[in-house]
Amino acid sequence: MRLLISLAVSVPIFVFLAYIDVSTRYADRIFTVEAVAARPVALVLGAGIYPSGRLSAVLADRMHTAMALYEAGKVEKLLLSGDNSIAHYNEPAAMGDFALAAGLPPAALAYDFAGRRTYDSCYRARHIFGLDQVIVVTQAFHLPRALYLCQQAGVDAVGVAADQRAYLRSDWFAFREALARARAWFDVHLLRPQPVGGSRIDIFAPDYQGRAH
């Protein structure tokens, strides 16, 4: 009985401390488009798309922010990282189509089709794409976790918040994010899940094929 009581008290405290660590560790590494220092790559994290391929409001704002970084000369390439675990759902391709329709050249775009979770996107940025510095582009509620995961994966990351409007599901995002931050700590330090692997991809190589990968 004492063990059960001890666990009932200690586990929530441990989870809360994990949440605080993820929430605060890299909070000073978030900048605006104008203030962030230039880096070679913006890592743009996927979010929902509709069956038509249209981007959700959250994802459209991430793309607008990433394109602003590119147009300001702050990055040379956008690494579009999202879920393509089933054939008819392809976040990176939809993100790329959005950027191309806005006038970005194909050479500005690189694709990670196995960024199924933020953990995976950060891990693969380092271990598949060989990146050691990125600007992470996502919403403010997501940035502390994204920066934590990238830093822990060995990527020197700073963030730019993509918030450009009020989002209809903001309360749900906040609730989900609180749980996800605690999970991120456990993923890094205890669970260590293995993302989709593969051969190294050099997105700056002259023969980089983009969507051929």
Give yes or no for a contact between 42 and 137, defined as CB atoms under 8 angstroms apart.
Answer: yes
Neighbours of 35 (CB within 10 A): 10
| 29-212 placed in CATH 3.30.1370 | no
In this prediction, residue 172 carries a pLDDT of 82
pLDDT the model gives residue 97: 97
Instruction: Encode pLDDT of 31-65 as tens digits.
Output: 999 999 999 999 999 999 999 999 999 999 999 99
pLDDT band, very low/low/confident/very high, at 19 (cuts 50, 70, 90): confident
Largest CA distance in the chain: 65
Provide the residue ranges of all domains of the chain, joining segments of one domain with +: 29-212
pLDDT in tens, 61-103: 999 999 999 999 999 999 999 999 998 899 999 999 999 999 9
Cα dihedral 164, 16, 153, 209 sign: negative
**Do the beta carbons of residue 167 and residue 138 sit within 8 Å?**
no
Tokens read off for 126: 């380092």
C-beta separation of 156 from 27 below 8 A: no
| Distances 171 to 47, 113, 175, 186, 204 between C-alpha atoms, Å | 16, 29, 6, 24, 39
